[in-house]
A and B are shown apart, each in its own frame.
Chain A
Amino acid sequence: DAKTTQPPSMDCAEGRAANLPCNHSTISGNEYVYWYRQIHSQGPQYIIHGLKNNETNEMASLIITEDRKSSTLILPHATLRDTAVYYCIVRVSNAGGTSYGKLTFGQGTILTVHP
């Protein structure tokens, strides 16, 4: 699986957009970008994933650059409850092969949303 690089921490004002970057310069053609988040002392929560097109769901938007070497997770109107560690993960979409769906979590970005 390709390695990812994220800033260790970011701040955001409540009600503003939070833009979390992720670099994945060694990504392969069949690897997807996944985003999870973990609120303190809870299990991680899936947010969104994408291959090369931009994606949007009820939680967030995912913008992937044309060369796919980086991406940005956007929380359009951050709330205090969005304070969490955000993980960017790159891997193949299916669960086949030797990795059997394993998710490799790095240290992520600590997003703090303040009033």
Chain B
Amino acid sequence: DGGITQSPKYLFRKEGQNVTLSCEQNLNHDAMYWYRQDPGQGLRLIYYSQIVNDFQKGDIAEGYSVSREKKESFPLTVTSAQKNPTAFYLCASRSGLANYNEQFFGPGTRLTVL
């Protein structure tokens, strides 16, 4: 089955630790995105990547880092510099060939900082 997978589903981190969230897609999509969602709120864009080895900051990139070494993978690192990292993190992808903006989302990772 084609789709987007995120792991782990739940993640607990001690304050001051870096943690990396995984996002993999086998849809052959060019573009990938990371969003953050806080309780009762909409999604906010952290980082996005249009092609391999290229990525851009979104609206709330401070305290986060990404890499795009392979087309199918777009991991997100939450660093100790992120002041309030507890949130629901969503990864999405979109075909570069699509003439409209349908994004496919993964199941999400819920990060809790203890």
Contact = CB atoms under 8 A, between A and B. Distances in A.
Contacts, number: 72
Contacts of A93: 99-101
B45 to A, nearest CB: 5
A103 B107 contact: no
Contacts of A91: 101
Interface stretch (A18-26, A41-49, A66-74): A41-49
Contacts of A101: 31, 33, 48, 94, 101, 103
B39 to A, nearest CB: 11
Contact of B33 (A42, A87, A94, A102): A102
A52 B98 CA distance: 19
B61 to A, nearest CB: 12
Interface string A81-115: 00000010001111100001111111110000000
Contacts of B101: 32, 34, 49, 91-95, 101, 103
Nearest to A105: B42
A45 B103 CA distance: 8
A10 B105 CA distance: 25
A95 B45 contact: no
Interface string B88-108: 101010101011111111111
A106 B42 contact: yes
Chain B CB within 10 A, most for which of A34, A49, A105: A105
Interface of A: 32, 34, 41-46, 49, 87, 91-95, 100-108
16 contacts: A34-B101, A43-B108, A46-B103, A49-B100, A92-B101, A95-B50, A95-B96, A95-B98, A100-B56, A101-B33, A101-B94, A102-B45, A102-B48, A103-B101, A104-B42, A107-B41
Interface of B: 4, 31, 33, 35, 40-43, 45, 48, 50, 56, 58-59, 88, 90, 92, 94, 96, 98-108, 110
Given A101-B48, A102-B58, 10 more contacts: A41-B110, A43-B4, A44-B103, A45-B105, A93-B99, A95-B31, A100-B48, A100-B50, A104-B45, A108-B42
